[in-house]
Amino acid sequence: MTRETFEIRDQDGLGRIGELSVPRAGVTVETPALLPVINPHVRTVEPSRLRSEFGADILITNSYSFYGSDEYRDDALEDGLHDVLGFDGAIMTDSGSFQLAEYGEIDVTTPEILAFQRDIGSDIGTPVDIPTPPDVARERAEEELRTTQERLEVAEGVDVGEMLVNAPVQGSTYPDLRERAGRHADATDLDVFPVGAVVPLMNDYRYGDMVDVVAGAKRGLGRDAPVHLFGAGHPMMFALAVAMGCDLFDSAAYALYARDDRYLTVRGTEHLDDLDYFPCSCPVCADYAPAELRNVGGRAREELLAEHNLHVTFEEIRTIKQALRAGNLLELVETRARAHPAMLDGYRALTDHADQLEREDSVSKGAFFYLSGESARRPEVVRHHERLERLSLDPGERVLLTEGGPSDNFDASWRVVPPFGPFPRHLSESYPLTAEVPDRMDAEGYRAAAEGVARLADVNPDVAFTLAHRGWPESALNLVPERVDVVDLNGE
């Protein structure tokens, strides 16, 4: 469906820069955006500082924490959430579904909590969805999804005024249920689409499964649906999640980790005790060396660590946005994938969905950088191979496919560049064939190029091909059909 609240400004694969209009707050939030989680009872970093010092236009808090406490409830109803928290940006509220997942039961219905969220001045509210954990029996996932879907339909009927409403997408670890949930949510008149119950996947470093879950939800949701990844707050995985098409993130990690003296980086989490140097230039890291920070007393140290954690988290969002603008988001994802083997699984799962990414990708951007064997599985390579199947040559022609120069002994001579494989010379200046590739190519790159040769040969059975390569390994040459003549230019 078409939405007036979300506009996509720029795109790179499934990743995008967008603008989410939040009418009740009178603000427009640029996405990808990070929503710091504010626990109203704890406030590790004062919300009033979030906008000016950290650039946060939107935060998230739990309406159930207000609903369940007589004192906070009356304050919030009387003064409104923005005054109580001291924040003049947009405020998203959660519903108590988190408590439902943690403690099994809550005593509030969707109409009650949505009306309460409206009454305390929330800008984006949330129904009581059921966060079905990973790996449950399919029957349970289906049944709980039905309940969540009923509640979304109930939410459509609640008078929420200008407040936007989240439509969480559940379905456990069943990609087809996630897709069904996405399609159903998209057909409601609700506004923002959080992919729910992924926290257990993140906690267990199951980034491959996380990607499959998001890919399922995205297949069901329309392209113009703003997607929130509920509870995903570690900056290490933002680039991956943005490349899968997530637009909003919320982070409690910055505060929760700080409580345990843990220091976030885009390459993982460090314990303050293990650090001799801070690899960061935020105001906290500029002021303190690790040994100095260890000497700061309890609550003050926790606050300083939380501030650093928020700074790196926002910095990563800016890094991602700039990569997206420049058209090299996948290069950033590939770099981040080096942080941890589980991130590599996430990136490999993403390239498993190359066809889904490829449908959305713009055909032209900066330069394709080949950075590792995973680059050979990128959507651009998949697209080039599909394109080769549509390139028919004249029957009876003799065609040279070469990593070297052209030759007059053939009717045509095409260039060959790993990982893409063959292409007509006139495409040399067009994306992605202007790729920067290493001189010392790896086996994955050669194999992908050989697959390209094989696909071209398959669709042109009456053309005589000669492949002139520079030292391709056996594992690649084995993929080239027998009827292609093969010459090693290095062996001349």
Residues serving a catalytic function are 94
The backbone region for 27, taken as left when phi is positive above 0, alpha when psi lies in -120 to 50, beta otherwise, is beta
Which of ligand GUN, Zn ion, none lies near 148, with the C-beta cut-off 5 to 8 A by kind?
none
Which of ligand GUN, Zn ion, none lies near 441, with the C-beta cut-off 5 to 8 A by kind?
none
Q: Which residues contact 287 (CB under 8 A, 6 or more apart)?
A: none
Handedness of CA 105, 110, 112, 116 (dihedral sign): positive
The backbone region for 415, taken as left when phi is positive above 0, alpha when psi lies in -120 to 50, beta otherwise, is beta
Residue 427 touches Zn ion, criterion: CB under 5 A: no
In terms of CB distance, is 167 or 453 closer to ligand GUN?
A: 167
Count the site residues for ligand GUN by CB under 6 A: 13
Near ligand GUN by CB under 6 A: residue from 93, 97, 122, 172:
97
**Whole-number minimum distance, CB 129 to ligand GUN, in Å?**
5
Residue type, 294: R
Count the site residues for Zn ion by CB under 5 A: 4
Near Zn ion by CB under 5 A: residue from 206, 308, 447, 469:
308
Residue 193 touches ligand GUN, criterion: CB under 6 A: no
Backbone φ and ψ of 243, nearest 5°: -65, -20
Residue 311, exposed/middle/buried by CB under 10 A (0-12, 13-18, 19+)?
A: buried
Q: Which of residues 200-259 bind ligand GUN (CB under 6 A)?
A: 230-231
Residue 144 touches ligand GUN, criterion: CB under 6 A: no
Residue 350 touches ligand GUN, criterion: CB under 6 A: no
Residue 98 touches ligand GUN, criterion: CB under 6 A: yes
Residue 54 touches Zn ion, criterion: CB under 5 A: no
In terms of CB distance, is 168 or 419 closer to ligand GUN?
A: 168
Handedness of CA 249, 125, 9, 349 (dihedral sign): positive
Range in contact with Zn ion (rule: CB under 5 A) among 152-160, 231-239, 301-309, 468-476: 301-309
Range in contact with ligand GUN (rule: CB under 6 A) among 6-14, 35-43, 194-202, 294-302: 194-202
Helix 138-156 and helix 110-119: axis angle, to 10°? 50
Residue 272 touches Zn ion, criterion: CB under 5 A: no
End-to-end CA distance of the chain: 60
CA 133/CA 152 separation, integer angstroms = 19
Query: Measuring CA to CA, which residue among 396, 431, 428, 430 is closest to residue 414?
Result: 428
Q: Interface with Zn ion by CB under 5 A: which residues?
A: 280, 282, 285, 308
**Residues found near ligand GUN in the complex (CB under 6 A):** 94-95, 97-98, 126, 129, 131, 168, 196-197, 199, 230-231
